[in-house]
Amino acid sequence: ITEEETCEKLKGLIQRQVQICKRNVEVMDSVRRGAQLAIDECQYQFRNRRWNCSTLDTLPVFGKVVTQGTREAAFVYAISSAGVAFAVTRACSSGELEKCGCDRSVHGVSPEGFQWSGCSDNIAYGVAFSQTFVDVRERSKGSSSSRALMNLHNNEAGRKAILNNMRVECKCHGVSGSCEVKTCWKAMPPFRKVGNVLKEKFDGATEVEQRKIGSTKVLVPKNSQFKPHTDEDLVYLDSSPDFCEHDMKNGVLGTTGRHCNKTSKAIDGCELMCCGRGFHTEEVEVVDRCSCKFHWCCYVKCKQCRKVNLKPENSDRIRLQGERGKTEDHKDLRGSHLKGAKVKGNGITELDHNGDKAAGCPLDQSKRVMMMMMMWTDQM
């Protein structure tokens, strides 16, 4: 199968996207990496919240939650478009792509007196490709629906999170480490910084509605007392569910089986995470290296220490695969709607909701990322 035929076989692509894929086959691996960045960052940012950005073996990859116009959907679209822009830009700077390289527009001497040199990240190319590939679905519809306007706005807000946080990195040149000459280049922020920025925007997202101003349809704050949102802000149309109970009809997996912080009063605390249903505290034996000593020369010798951690868990969780392979059935097994929940390490690896495989189930990486790419094309 040729690379061009691979583009044809990607489900959900409209014809314009197939054409983009065929013209940019070498870039598609960067798109895949960008999707993985987005998934990982989303799950990091929401690891302690009721909605923890779980991925499913279905389309869309984040479940039905992102088919609704909620602030969770706003974050997913923003971090996804940012992931593509970031990964494509990084590929340009590392010389992986023939069509782009370092940003040659940054050159000469800066007003601060240092020499622009090195390889400045070509963020303009990465942003342009993200706009072309990620936004094309909404633009093909004429960008007239309120959801299309929401998606396009949040896509751009994700890219702005990179653009507005570009930084200058420098290197000194001179005898014995002196800085007689300083060369600098522009670099993207770490993607964790991008995730942090967008998480803050999520917390302060603006609820909007569509209005017609003249002949143009725009999104404006639903509450007229709120100030207008900026290009960097996230916007949403619909209120979010509380994510407490399992409701696959609306794409909600619930919080049953999640770990919680017994001493916290925040959203990761047991009272809020478990939605008042109560929780169990489970003893888990962990083996760590301890009392490590350096021996000349040259190795480190450690003892193995065993300690018991108390992990509070939702009272509906029924089966737990521990560090030593021990599986326990909790006393509320009969009253639970969960079957066969198991964890490995800190995350759930299998969780059946009335026969539907669901929350926290890490898919094969390539499969889950490919579905993420399809999400940008088959969401609406």
In a shared domain, residues 348 and 374: no
In a shared domain, residues 211 and 304: no
pLDDT tens column, 53-110: 887 655 566 777 788 999 999 999 999 999 999 999 999 999 999 999 998 887 777 7
Asked whether residue 293 is domain-assigned, the answer is yes
Length of the chain, in residues: 380
pTM: 0.76
pLDDT tens column, 243-284: 999 887 777 889 988 888 888 999 999 999 999 888 888 777
Asked whether residue 137 is domain-assigned, the answer is yes
In a shared domain, residues 207 and 284: no
Mean pLDDT of the chain: 79
Q: Is pLDDT larger for residue 350 or for residue 313?
A: 313
CB 136 within 8 A of CB 128: no
Asked whether residue 114 is domain-assigned, the answer is no
* pLDDT above 70: percentage of residues in the chain: 76
In a shared domain, residues 221 and 307: no
pLDDT tens column, 143-157: 678 999 999 999 999
Confidence of residue 165 (pLDDT cuts 50, 70, 90): very high
Q: What is the mean pLDDT of residues 133-138?
A: 90
Asked whether residue 174 is domain-assigned, the answer is no
- C-alpha angle with apex 267: 262 to 273, nearest 5 degrees? 65
Asked whether residue 289 is domain-assigned, the answer is yes
In a shared domain, residues 64 and 18: yes
Q: Is pLDDT larger for residue 153 or for residue 307?
A: 153
In a shared domain, residues 290 and 327: yes
* pLDDT above 90: percentage of residues in the chain: 42
How many domains does the chain divide into?
2
Q: What does the alpha-carbon distance between residue 171 and residue 11 come to, in Å, rounded to a whole number?
A: 46
In a shared domain, residues 69 and 207: yes
Q: Is pLDDT larger for residue 364 or for residue 135?
A: 135
Cis check: omega of the bond before 119, within 30 degrees of 0: no
**Does residue 208 sit in helix, strand or coil?**
strand
Domain residues for the domain of 305 are 255-357
In this model, does residue 317 exceed pLDDT 50? no
pLDDT tens column, 338-347: 333 333 333 3
Asked whether residue 234 is domain-assigned, the answer is yes
In a shared domain, residues 340 and 369: no
pLDDT at residue 58, as a whole number = 58
The tokens for 117 are 């040199």
In a shared domain, residues 151 and 30: yes
pLDDT at residue 360, as a whole number = 29
User: What are the counts of helices (DSSP H) followed by strands (DSSP E) for the chain?
Assistant: 10, 13
What residues have CB less than 8 Å from 340, skipping those under 6 apart? Answer: 319, 350, 351, 352
Nearest to 317 by CA among 360, 286, 285, 288: 360
In a shared domain, residues 195 and 133: yes
Which range is least confidently modeled, 18-22, 79-83, 170-174?
Answer: 170-174
- What is the domain-level CATH number for residue 321? 3.30.2460.20
In a shared domain, residues 45 and 88: yes
pLDDT at residue 41, as a whole number = 96
In a shared domain, residues 237 and 157: yes
Q: Where do runs of H (alpha helix) occur along the chain?
A: 3-9, 15-23, 28-45, 71-93, 123-134, 136-140, 146-163, 191-203, 270-273, 365-378
User: Could you give the C-alpha distances from 117 to 60, 170, 171, 181, in angstroms and in order?
Assistant: 43, 9, 10, 11
In this model, does residue 333 exceed pLDDT 90? no
Q: Where do runs of H (alpha helix) occur along 190-275?
A: 191-203, 270-273
In this model, does residue 369 exceed pLDDT 60? no
Q: What is the mean pLDDT of residues 291-317?
A: 74
Asked whether residue 176 is domain-assigned, the answer is no
Asked whether residue 181 is domain-assigned, the answer is no
The residue behind tokens 């020369």 is 297
